[in-house]
Structure 1
Amino acid sequence: MSNRPEWLQPSRSIYSKQHGIIQVSAIIGDNLYFRKGIISQTIFNWEEEIKKGNLSQIQHTPTSKSLIYQETATEIEGRNKLAYCDVIPEQAANLEQIPDSMHSAVNNVLKQLGINQLYSHQIEAWEAYNQGNHIILETPTSSGKSISFLLPVIHECFKGNSCIIFFNLKALAFDQEEKIREFVNLLPESIRPVILNINGDTSSQERKKLYTHKPSIICVTPDVWHHELNNYQFDNYNFVETLRKISIIVVDELHFYCGIFGANFALLNRRTQLIIEQAGGNLSQLKYIYASATINNSQEIAQKFPIGGKILRLLVKVGQEKLKPLLSVSSPKIVFCTQPLKLQLYLLVKM
């Protein structure tokens, strides 16, 4: 008893080179009884095992993914509840200074929003826009894609042009419109573009009254835009003027534009180009920006839409900071929702 370390006590967790993290059940003589999950096992001559370095207290053991896995397996009563556990390496943010070529009013808005630098992929998108290229943003969720396409859109409005932003869902259009409006409302009123959320909640007659001669950002879903073009009339001067000035078309969530939906959108896109041309617009100046977080063949999809002869720039390198994600897979034997939740919460505490 006198030779037993303070950390070697019943009900405590210790580290074994052979078994990983174990919980001591009892110590009787030279035998150490422990529980690994729901199975009781024995280590003979525990004192000799300590001398060999095969047993130690947990805080003196290097932290690693395997140890986190083993400790978790013990705490949730057995490995049969955790199939796999891994920690994905973190990634530092790649930030760059806001370019001088950006309008001072936009620079001021960014600073008001607490943005003093931009991610490298946002800078790349800005440079591609200035070079007159079409752009594909193939970056993860929450990587700042909205800012990436909003900066070119606003600068086109400063030139007196208008833009269309296609969203695949009405709810997404409302959500993004709020974010765009939050940004735009910080601009001086004299250069602030009009934001139009064209949706089915407003009658076609009332929608026509929304169009003005001012530069506009049109937030719309493909189905509603299809009806807009069907109701298109050359005697609606403001609508014609808006169409004539369209210089950028943004397609968000590009991965949705496949199959029948994608084929219909390709036709809708062509109709839009024809009507812009009929209204007196310059198709040679029309640029496209595509954005998607969950796709790896966005360039293949985008090339199916008529976009003219400009270069299509694919941006996949992300400058956004990536925290250390934890990937854990519960055993398929688990049938109750509470067990995976308990596992996930325990892992979050350990990380």
Structure 2
Amino acid sequence: MTTSAIDRRFMAAAIRLSRQHKGRTSTNPAVATLIVRNDGNGPVIVGRGVTAIGGRPHAETQALAEAGERARGATAYVTLEPCAHHGRTPPCADALVTAGVARVVGAATDPDPRVSGKGYAILRKAGVAVDERVLADEAADLMAGYLIRSIRKRPEVVLKLALSADGMIGRLGEGQVAITGATARAQAHLMRMEADAIVVGIGTALADDPWLTVRLPGLEGRSPARIVLDRLAKLPVTTKLARSAHEVPLMIAVGPEADKERKAALAAAGAGFLATETYDGRIALPELLEDLAARGMSSVMVEGGADTARAFLDDDLVDRIILFRGLGAIGRGGIASPIDHDHIPGGFRLVREARFGEDRYAEWMRAI
């Protein structure tokens, strides 16, 4: 294999490893590092690390600790530029130099001004060979939440919809309607697990009475926060969302005109509140997202309904579009989706397609 092919192979492995803690590293990105050594019999991984749950320690220090003396003269594959700033621990770039790593292969560049370009500069100054942007787009795909929060000062917004064969997302007055099969629904729960929050409008919360939790065996504790866009605090305390608020965080985005007694009842049930500004009779979404970023959230998934999805699209706040498509048609009385496979906004590119059981899956992303 050529050096380029070997680099891509090990970087791809590092990117897969980084997904292990996606959504669990607080405000830090889920980064992975592989230390690879070649003593004449081909390259061998001698150290592995992924950003720890909660954000510390970083991937580089863990991989170097596992490699020990074998890191000297080895190559480090890092999915994000090594940090260059002093915090509670020394910079990861310095740790790589101290360990005697001979070469660093990096994927995505860190937009944090404390790091951007500086981590690589530390390495080069110490005589470490550096190759940048190997599988950079693939690495950025997995850490898009961190990158978008750093650049745009808001979380990544993932719009996820399930469409029937005739382009509907539900039927008026019937609450939740099964559009996709069990395999596709399980995949959607895995996506929830990697998000910081799930967002729905009050219309969906009232019509569907959803849990919005992760309900996969062994993963129930990975449910993200639930956020309801509820300007007037209409959510009843008898809903599944309110009844589970003590177990899984529930936040109600309310306007200044929200009813105080209903807010008090929801607070007693365990709900928290996001005080928001309103514009043209609805919650101001850009300001809400800024507040969520300030709380450390990097990725939110918008799950419904049509009006909420359309509001995020109209405000140009969607970064990733995920569409599941079932085989059955809803027909008369159906609620039309605000978007479908043939009408994706400009600036988005198709990044993956799949099948889950009988259902189609497609995902689009726009440049960060």
Do both proteins adopt the same fold according to a TM-score greater than 0.5, normalized to the shorter chain? no
Q: Which has the larger helix fraction?
A: 1
Radius of gyration: which is bigger? Answer: 1
Indicate the structure whose relative CO is greater, using CA pairs within 8 Å and at least 6 residues apart.
Answer: 1
TM-score (norm 1): 0.29
